[in-house]
Chains A and B, each alone.
Chain A
C-alpha cells in the first residue's frame, strides 16, 4: 500500500485523481492539469510535497561533513541560505539532487527526493561518521507545502509577519504561518517565484486551508512536472540517475573541485568533465509528444539519443522534451524523435524553455 501524506483526506475531499509516486499516494491533478499549470504561471498554486525527505545534519563539523558527502561546498553557506547540490556515488553517478538549507551555524537540513531519501540518509550517516556531526532522518515528522506563482508573496504575507521582502531566492528563515511554526524557504520547482513551507505534520491541514482561503489554488504533480520541464529542471529518475554524472546533466557548476578536502566521487568526476552526451531541450514541430524513453534519431535514421522527459507545453503551445544526445551532435542537425514508429521532426533549443519575467 502506498503511503499517505497528512493531507490525504483533503485531497480526497477535493476529488483529486491520486497516483502512486515513489511509494506515496499523491494528487496527480484536482481538475484540469492545464488550468493548474496556468494558475502557477499567472497566480498562485498550492502543492502537497510532504513525500519529500528532510534530513538534519548537526554539529560543529556539519558543514565539513556535507562538503565531503556532496559535490557542493556547503560549509561556506551562510545561515539562512540554501543551495542546490547533488550527492554522487564513488563512480560519479548521481544518487540524488537536493536543496540544503543552513538553519544555524551548526544545523543544516537536506531536502531530498521521495524516491531517494532513505538511501540519502543512510549514505549521509556513513559519510558523516568521520566528522563531529550527527545525521537524523526526520522526514516522517515533516509535511511540506509549496505555494508557487507570481501572487505567492502577496498571499503568504496575509498569513505571516515574517519578513518576506527580505527573504531572497534560495534563502530560508523560521517563522510562524497561520499560527504554525514553519521553515519558510524561497525555493521551488516551477520556474516561478514562490515559497516552500516545512511544517510539523499536525499543522499541514490547517495551513493548507488557510492558504486556499487566502487565494492559493491546489495543483497536482502533473502540473508540477510540466512546470519544472518548462523551467528546464531535472527530475531524478528521468534526467538524473546513478548512470548519469552531473557533467552529463549540464550540472557541472554544482561540482566544486576547488573546495578543500576530498569528497565522494571527486576522483571519478575529475576524469569525466568532458562527457560523451549532453542534455538538450527539444521542441517538436508537430503536435505529437516526445515522451520518456523515445529514441532521438538523426537524418539518416541512426539513434543519437533518448528522450528523458516530454510533455505538451502550455507556455510554448508545442510539445517539449529534454533528451540526452551524443555530445558531438551538430547544433541543429535535422533531428527527429521516433514517436511509436514515426519520425517527428524536432528543433534543439537552449534550456530552459521558459523563463519568468523579473
Chain B
C-alpha cells in the first residue's frame, strides 16, 4: 500500500496539492501510488515559470522506463516556481514523491472546489 498523507488534496489524475490552507501558492506533485505504477521515473517535464494554466490542462509529463504520462494542473493560476532538482534527478519522484519530488508551484486565483480528500483518493486508488 502506498502512502496518502492526510493533509494534502488530490486529483483523479494522481496529482497531490499542498498548501491550500496557507494562502495563495500551492505546491503540486504526483502521488506515491502514481510513482509506483510508473516505475523508475527517467524524465520530468515541468511547465514554464510565468505561464498561466487552467485546472485540467496538460502542463508537463513524467516518463518512466515503460510509459509516459501527462501531468495535469490540478488548479488554475500562474506557475511561479518549478523544481529544478527533480528535472535534474527524476528519481526523486520515486524516492520522495511528497517531498523533494515536488514538481511546480502555482499562485492560485481562487480555492479549487473539485479536489479529493486523502480519504476519497484512497478509495479511488483502492478500486484501481
Are both chains from one complex? yes
Task: Give chain A's interface residues, CB within 8 Å of chain B.
Answer: 17, 28-29, 32-34, 222, 225-226, 287-289, 291, 311-312, 340
Interface of A is mostly: mixed
* Alpha-carbon separation in the docked complex, A295 to B63 (Å): 18
Residues A222 and B39 in contact in the complex (CB < 8 Å), given A288-B63, A289-B63? yes
- Chain B hits for A312, CB < 8 A: 42-43, 63, 65
* Alpha-carbon separation in the docked complex, A117 to B45 (Å): 41
Could you say which of B39, B45, B63 contacts A17, with CB atoms under 8 Å apart? B39
Residue with the highest number of chain A CB atoms closer than 10 Å, among B43, B61, B66, B68 = B66
Residue with the highest number of chain A CB atoms closer than 10 Å, among B36, B39, B43, B94 = B39
* Alpha-carbon separation in the docked complex, A312 to B45 (Å): 15
Q: Is B40 positioned at the interface, with any CB of A under 8 Å from its CB?
A: yes
Task: Give chain B's interface residues, CB within 8 Å of chain A.
Answer: 36, 39-40, 42-43, 45, 61, 63, 65-66, 68, 94
- Chain B hits for A34, CB < 8 A: 40, 42, 65
**Can you list 13 A-B contacts (CB < 8 A)?**
A32-B40, A32-B94, A33-B66, A34-B40, A34-B65, A222-B66, A226-B65, A288-B63, A289-B42, A289-B43, A289-B68, A311-B65, A311-B66
* Alpha-carbon separation in the docked complex, A34 to B39 (Å): 9
A33 lies within 8 A of B42 (CB)? no
B65 lies within 8 A of A288 (CB)? no
* Alpha-carbon separation in the docked complex, A350 to B12 (Å): 43
B43 lies within 8 A of A288 (CB)? yes
- Chain B hits for A289, CB < 8 A: 42-43, 63, 68
Residues A33 and B40 in contact in the complex (CB < 8 Å), given A288-B63, A289-B63? yes
Within the complex, what minimum Cβ distance (angstroms) separates B115 from chain A? Answer: 27
